[in-house]
Chain A
Amino acid sequence: MGAKRHFRVWRGDETGGDLQDYQVEVNEGEVVLDIIHRLQATETPDLACRWNCKAGKCGSCSMEINGMPRLGCMTRMSTFEESETVTVTPLRTFPVIRDLVTDVNFNYQKARETPAFAPPEDLAPGEYRMQQVDVERSQEFRKCIECFLCQNVCHVVRDHEENKKAFSGPRYFIRAAELDMHPLDAKTDRKDYAQASMGLGYCNITKCCTEVCPEHITITDNAIIPMKERVVDRRYDPIVWLGRKIFRRDQLSEGDGLGMSGLPQADGHGAEHKSGVNWHREVPAPQVAPVGDDGKLPISEITFDRAGGPSPFGDDVTFPLPPEGLNYAHPDRDK
């Protein structure tokens, strides 16, 4: 029989809710998910919480524990002080369904919008030959267990519902990077697509996603930055730049598709969301991150006064933007 510990768990649904206090028994070696299960088995049989494998392999029990996005099954109780109150809340970025369960459909919709693997046409099944070193880069990203903690922590969407329409999020940037680095993928415009249609430009490399990843995938350094660098290289290639200046936009290749701001044009991607996610707002067009003479982002964690790069919206912009600055149109009034 272990000691009683103080837990606060958010209970409620989309209409609202609050933190409720519980005194629960905690035994040696237990994790937060065990305590949630004990609550279900004793005081609150209807406490809603997702879980499956209990071993950090399925990514179902994502929650926020004392404000940190974590897997319930991988958070040992021994990491807290005996007297510490443990507060468990649902993922903040996604709409609450009930208690700790949120509507993560956003992620599945983004998954659908990310172009799938394009098999090489000239190879039959069984003829694929790849070297281990070449598959390893993509394999790192395929470790992803889709817990969506990176999506949850990413500040581009965490408190900005309006960005969800144009921004796919770290999970799908590593998917794009994985396919981009796949030795036999036949599609060649993954990076440009990520920039043009997935909102890669919104990311300003604060590395929060990497920090919360339970699989320790170096999302920012190994996937996002390499894609950004190469996209930026192309965008600032003087020939390409000149081309953009002297041709009319309709003469430019579709693959470029970057628009004037380097950010996705809000044109229909993700427009058909049946399940009631309303990202109707037009996105305020931010600026691309300033690049140095070498055509690269001036990321220097050592000299910069904060962790990560400058805001792509400009450092003088604070959110939320004043309402008059938004080109928002209510969907019903469009008709």
Chain B
Amino acid sequence: MATRIERHHYDVVVIGAGGAGLRAAIEARLAGKKTAIISKSLFGKAHTVMAEGGAAAAMGNVNSRDNWMVHYRDTMRGGKFLNNFRMAELHAKESPSRIWELETYGALFDRTKDGKISQRNFGGHEYPRLAHVGDRTGLELIRTLQQKIVSLQQEDKREFGDYEARIRVFQETTITELLLDGNKVAGAFGYYRESGEFVLFEAPAIVLATGGVGKSYKVTSNSWEYTGDGHALALRSGATLINMEFLQFHPTGMVWPPSVKGILVTESVRGDGGVLKNSTGKRFMFDYVPDVFRKQYAETEEEADRWYTDPDNNRRPPELLPRDEVARAINSEVKAGRGSPAGGVFLDVSTRMSADVIRKRLPSMYHQFKELADVDITKQAMEVGPTCHYVMGGVEVDPDTAAAAGTVQGLFAAGEVSGGMHGSNRLGGNSLSDLLVFGKRAGEHAASYADALTARPKVSTRDLETAVETALAPLERDGGENPYTLQQELQTVMGDLVGIIRRKGELEDSLVRLAELRDRVAKVSATGGRKYNPGWHLALDLRNMLVVSECTAKAALEREESRGGHTREDFPTMRPDWRRVNLVCSLDGDKVRLEHKPVPRMRAELIQLFDRAELAKYLTDEELAEFDALAEEAK
């Protein structure tokens, strides 16, 4: 082979350096494993920094009535009962410990009067539950984990004389292929973005923590990195994806100026008192409370306003409905011609709080609007609209160990790249806690998997050669299309045909267009050399974006109901029989195969945490009869 390939040996390789990846790496290193962290960007730039609101954990610091059971109920409710119940349970139980642990790493959360971690209200959470630092919680989280890794490196330096003895960060490195030995993970192949040189990590256990797929959409809050790499790597190595039809469109992204379209406006703007108005000045959310939530939300503006100061005796304002509901409501208002000039609606804090309070509680929003849009949010309303934000779907995993399902062994997934935890819709704040809880579990189980192996899987030379050829192909091919053009077309297809509101005809059309794109992407070419060449990098990412988009479109066409992050105009209601179905994607050659698989059934003591009246909205008659039988037994 003519090409030089740098080789490294590790016990655990973590792909992705956001919250989940770093937490997994910390755990693997604490378990004594030689660990590599691979990051597409510089260390500490991952998309986790964009999380603003906070990390949900039922610590009960602000309202002592909060506990894991309430959090569990909120999560299941938010996900419309499609969540993997065990993941939701583990998440609700373990997130307080994961947050407290961060304090021992040096995190500085905002405090309550008695010196505990302060918690704030957020959409879909019954009690104030989000540990936060102003509106830059994600940054605090990533910095804390980054600094913890540095402190572990300092320990290793003292012990072994080398910072990188047991944990090393490979910055600006992209993995293009996972290499297997039979069904076992043997290594990961990729390139250094900086030099374009190839690198092979031989490792028996790999943790995927690559985040989401938002870059396949035109309007998104996600950065260039979000190309579904982990999803595609998992598929190609024999793992399965679930719930790929569920994408969360965050209701409030900036809509003006055009260059920042999609950038997030944190939900805490609403949690702290911001209200949504249409062009006639009406607080329209009161018209959009769905029946399943009717009981928990205020019916008048007066009651809603009282809730901010007296949450125990009033119901919450409808601006704090789960994200899917708010996104759909904004979409309807704009479609009905009651939108703002730039095609969004108005989000107003200026008439609700004093300028000082706004600047204190929402500093980065103040900053963001001032600098990017020249809007002073203490004086003017913001213009906002839905933006593609998060994919609920992802790698199907074992809830306890985060090990990927399917045929592959030694592959683990945590954070946004994994699926199941959030069901059909994720609650704000559940992402930061999700990545801590399952990041830790993935790291721990990847380490013990590596321990249990009797022999190290080997990378085959042929696989390696194929990986090199595939990676070099766009550079060596002449006359193919510009990767940027193809990316824009893909984004248009997904944004227009597989967006917030979906229709059968459009989804079918999208599959045809994606198939065409697939042929063109196979012939993409990149100009320039291997050294820091973004055109080449994008050309390689495109095939990942494409296969993942195909999963989303296929699953969206299959699921004939509307639930959470999946809205079908032709099937506008939720259907209990579909609640029992997970759509599972796998790869058959290079074709996406879609299968139905039953959603795991909640254990008796967990389902009994809910009211019968509430369950009746989600469950089939048959399931309800079983529930009644359980209730009878319990008496």
Q: Does A112 contact B (CB under 8 A)?
A: yes
Q: Does B105 contact A (CB under 8 A)?
A: yes
Q: Are A46 and B484 in contact (CB under 8 A)?
A: no
Q: Kindly supply a per-residue 1/0 record for chain B positions 139-171, scoring 1 wherever the CB is within 8 Å of any chain A CB and 0 otherwise.
A: 110010001101101100100001100000001
Tell me whether A59 and B45 are in contact in the complex, defined as CB-CB below 8 angstroms, given that A13-B531, A45-B527 are known contacts. Answer: yes
Q: Are A130 and B111 in contact (CB under 8 A)?
A: yes
Q: Does A333 contact B (CB under 8 A)?
A: no
Q: Which residues of B contact A52 (CB under 8 A)?
A: 41, 45, 47, 223-225
Q: Are B223 and A58 in contact (CB under 8 A)?
A: yes
Q: How far is the CB of A127 from chain B (nearest CB, A)?
A: 8
Q: Does A266 contact B (CB under 8 A)?
A: no
Q: Kindly supply a per-residue 1/0 record for chain A positions 160-202, scoring 1 wherever the CB is within 8 Å of any chain B CB and 0 otherwise.
A: 0000000000000000000100100100000000000000000
Q: Are A55 and B263 in contact (CB under 8 A)?
A: yes
Tell me whether A98 and B532 are in contact in the complex, defined as CB-CB below 8 angstroms, given that A52-B41, A126-B96, A142-B133 are known contacts. Answer: yes
Q: Are A138 and B108 in contact (CB under 8 A)?
A: yes
**Residue count of chain A within 8 Å CB distance of chain B:** 62
Q: How far is the CB of A193 from chain B (nearest CB, A)?
A: 13
Query: For the complex, what is the distance from the CA of A138 to the CA of B109, rounded to whole Å?
Result: 11
Query: For the complex, what is the distance from the CA of A45 to the CA of B536, rounded to whole Å?
Result: 8
Within 8 A of B (CB), among A8-36: 13, 27-31, 33-34
Interface 9-residue window, one of B307-315, B365-373, B572-580: B365-373
Q: Are B534 and A57 in contact (CB under 8 A)?
A: no
Q: Which residues of A contact B488 (CB under 8 A)?
A: 41
Q: Are B153 and A112 in contact (CB under 8 A)?
A: yes
Q: Does B106 contact A (CB under 8 A)?
A: yes
Q: Are A47 and B108 in contact (CB under 8 A)?
A: no
Interface 9-residue window, one of A115-123, A227-235, A247-255: A115-123
Q: Across the interface, name the chain B residue whose C-beta is closest to A119.
A: B104
Q: Which residues of B contact A285 (CB under 8 A)?
A: none
Tell me whether A117 and B151 are in contact in the complex, defined as CB-CB below 8 angstroms, given that A41-B484, A45-B535 are known contacts. Answer: yes
Q: Are A29 and B50 in contact (CB under 8 A)?
A: no
Tell me whether A57 and B139 are in contact in the complex, defined as CB-CB below 8 angstroms, given that A47-B534, A50-B42, A117-B106 are known contacts. Answer: yes
Query: For the complex, what is the distance from the CA of A32 to the CA of B345, rounded to whole Å?
Result: 27
Q: Are A112 and B150 in contact (CB under 8 A)?
A: yes
Q: Which of B42, B150, B374, B535 contacts A46 (CB 8 A)?
A: B535
Tell me whether A31 and B534 are in contact in the complex, defined as CB-CB below 8 angstroms, given that A115-B154, A143-B139 are known contacts. Answer: no
Query: For the complex, what is the distance from the CA of A49 to the CA of B224, rounded to whole Å?
Result: 12
Q: Which of A13, A58, A78 contacts B49 (CB 8 A)?
A: A58
Query: For the complex, what is the distance from the CA of A230 to the CA of B328, rounded to whole Å?
Result: 57
Tell me whether A135 and B110 are in contact in the complex, defined as CB-CB below 8 angstroms, given that A48-B532, A59-B45, A101-B532 are known contacts. Answer: yes
Q: Across the interface, name the chain B residue whose C-beta is closest to A185.
A: B106
Q: Which residues of A contact B260 (CB under 8 A)?
A: 29, 31, 54-55
Q: Does B293 contact A (CB under 8 A)?
A: no
Q: Across the interface, name the chain A residue whose C-beta is closest to B535.
A: A45
Q: Are A50 and B41 in contact (CB under 8 A)?
A: yes
By a beta-carbon cutoff of 8 Å, the part of chain A in contact with chain B is 13, 27-31, 33-34, 40-41, 45-60, 74, 76, 78, 97-99, 101, 103-104, 108, 111-112, 115-117, 119, 125-126, 128-132, 135, 138-139, 142-146, 179, 182, 185, 216, 272
Q: Are A139 and B534 in contact (CB under 8 A)?
A: no
Q: Does B528 contact A (CB under 8 A)?
A: yes
Q: Which residues of A contact B531 (CB under 8 A)?
A: 13, 48, 97-98
Interface 9-residue window, one of B26-34, B174-182, B251-259: B251-259
Q: Across the interface, name the chain B residue whose C-beta is closest to A181.
A: B108
Kindly list the 9 A-B residue pairs having the minimum CB-CB distance in the complex, ordered from nearest: A29-B257, A46-B528, A117-B106, A116-B151, A45-B535, A129-B115, A125-B100, A126-B100, A48-B532
Q: Which residues of B contact A116 (CB under 8 A)?
A: 106, 147-148, 150-151, 154
Within 8 A of A (CB), among B242-279: 256-260, 263-264
Q: Which residues of B contact A54 (CB under 8 A)?
A: 223, 259-260, 263
Query: For the complex, what is the distance from the CA of A291 to the CA of B268, rounded to whole Å?
Result: 48
Q: Does B125 contact A (CB under 8 A)?
A: no
Q: Are B133 and A46 in contact (CB under 8 A)?
A: no
By a beta-carbon cutoff of 8 Å, the part of chain B in contact with chain A is 41-45, 47, 49-50, 59, 96-97, 100-101, 103-106, 108-111, 114-116, 118, 133-134, 136, 139-140, 143, 147-148, 150-151, 153-154, 157, 162-163, 171, 194, 223-225, 256-260, 263-264, 364, 367-368, 371-374, 482-485, 488, 526-529, 531-536
Tell me whether A45 and B528 are in contact in the complex, defined as CB-CB below 8 angstroms, given that A40-B534, A111-B150 are known contacts. Answer: yes
Q: Across the interface, name the chain A residue whose C-beta is closest to B106.
A: A117
Chain A interface helix/strand/loop/mixed: loop
Q: How far is the CB of B295 from chain A (nearest CB, A)?
A: 33
Q: How far is the CB of B27 from chain A (nearest CB, A)?
A: 15
Query: For the complex, what is the distance from the CA of A182 to the CA of B224, rounded to whole Å?
Result: 35
Sample (26) of A-B pairs whose CB atoms are under 8 Å apart: A29-B257, A29-B258, A31-B260, A34-B259, A40-B535, A41-B485, A45-B534, A52-B45, A55-B50, A55-B260, A56-B367, A56-B371, A57-B49, A57-B139, A58-B49, A60-B41, A76-B372, A97-B194, A116-B106, A125-B101, A126-B103, A128-B103, A135-B111, A142-B143, A143-B139, A182-B106
Q: Which residues of B contact A145 (CB under 8 A)?
A: 49, 139
Q: Are A125 and B104 in contact (CB under 8 A)?
A: yes
Q: Which of A27, A76, A117, A216 contacts B105 (CB 8 A)?
A: A117
Q: Which residues of A contact B133 (CB under 8 A)?
A: 139, 142
Q: How far is the CB of B390 from chain A (nearest CB, A)?
A: 15
Q: Which of A103, A112, A216, A272 contacts B154 (CB 8 A)?
A: A112
Q: Across the interface, name the chain A residue whose C-beta is closest to B261.
A: A29
Q: Across the interface, name the chain B residue whose C-beta is closest to A107.
A: B42
Q: Across the interface, name the chain A residue whose C-beta is closest to B142.
A: A58
Q: Across the interface, name the chain A residue whose C-beta is closest to B114.
A: A129
Among A30, A52, A54, A119, find the residue whose CB has the most chain B CB atoms closer than 10 A. A52
Q: Are B139 and A132 in contact (CB under 8 A)?
A: no
Q: Are A30 and B258 in contact (CB under 8 A)?
A: yes
Query: For the complex, what is the distance from the CA of A19 to the CA of B257, rounded to whole Å?
Result: 29
Tell me whether A55 and B372 are in contact in the complex, defined as CB-CB below 8 angstroms, given that A30-B257, A139-B108 are known contacts. Answer: yes
Among B105, B114, B259, find the residue whose CB has the most chain A CB atoms closer than 10 A. B259
Q: Across the interface, name the chain A residue whose C-beta is closest to B263.
A: A55
Query: For the complex, what is the distance from the CA of A185 to the CA of B482, rounded to whole Å?
Result: 53
Q: Across the interface, name the chain B residue whose C-beta is closest to A129.
A: B115
Q: Are A125 and B43 in contact (CB under 8 A)?
A: no
Query: For the complex, what is the distance from the CA of A290 to the CA of B399, rounded to whole Å?
Result: 63
Q: Across the interface, name the chain B residue whose C-beta is closest to A144.
A: B143
Q: Are B151 and A146 in contact (CB under 8 A)?
A: no
Among B104, B374, B484, find the residue whose CB has the most chain A CB atoms closer than 10 A. B104
Q: How far is the CB of B70 from chain A (nearest CB, A)?
A: 19
Q: Are A142 and B108 in contact (CB under 8 A)?
A: yes
Q: How far is the CB of B23 from chain A (nearest CB, A)?
A: 15
Q: Across the interface, name the chain A residue whose C-beta is closest to B373.
A: A29
Q: Are B106 and A58 in contact (CB under 8 A)?
A: no
Q: How far is the CB of A261 from chain B (nearest CB, A)?
A: 27
Q: Across the interface, name the chain A residue whose C-beta is closest to B98.
A: A125
